[in-house]
Amino acid sequence: MARGTIKIRLLGVFKEAYGASSEHVEIEGKVRLKDIIWRLADSSEDLRRALIDPDLESPLPNAVIIVNGRDISALNGLETEVKSGDEIVLIPLIRCGVTR
């Protein structure tokens, strides 16, 4: 299988939590997006807290995830296959709440 790298760009609070605006992840062949996300989250406890919803064990409530310029909701969600040369962008969601 071919080896390569995927570039991950982190914006906003994800950048602050991770301590860098980008990361290159080594892969072999095609892998699922969720495996890349978990590998990154496992490498930084601060990023894990910012990115992963603890109740759902998912980044989806906290992030818009873009693969090669397309929102993953238009692809195969977290099951989207990524390969060498792909770019993943993690954008934090901003929530507005009502206080009582």
The answer to whether residue 22 sits within a structural domain is yes
The tally of domains found in the chain comes to 1
Q: Is residue 98 part of a domain?
A: no
Residues near 20 by beta carbon (within 8 Å), at least 6 away in sequence:
10
Domain hosting 78: range is 3-92
Does residue 61 belong to any structural domain of this protein?
yes
DSSP assignment string, 48-99: HHHHSBTTTTBSTTTEEEEETTEEGGGTTGGG-EE-TT-EEEEEE-------
CATH of the domain at 77: 3.10.20.30
Asked if the structure places residue 28 within a domain, the reply is yes
Mean per-residue pLDDT, 62-75: 97
Name the pLDDT band for 100 (thresholds 50, 70, 90). very low
Domain membership of residue 99 (yes or no) is no
Q: What is the mean pLDDT of the chain?
A: 92
Residue 85 lies in a domain: yes
Look at residue 100 and tell me if it is in a domain. no
Quick one: pLDDT at residue 94?
78
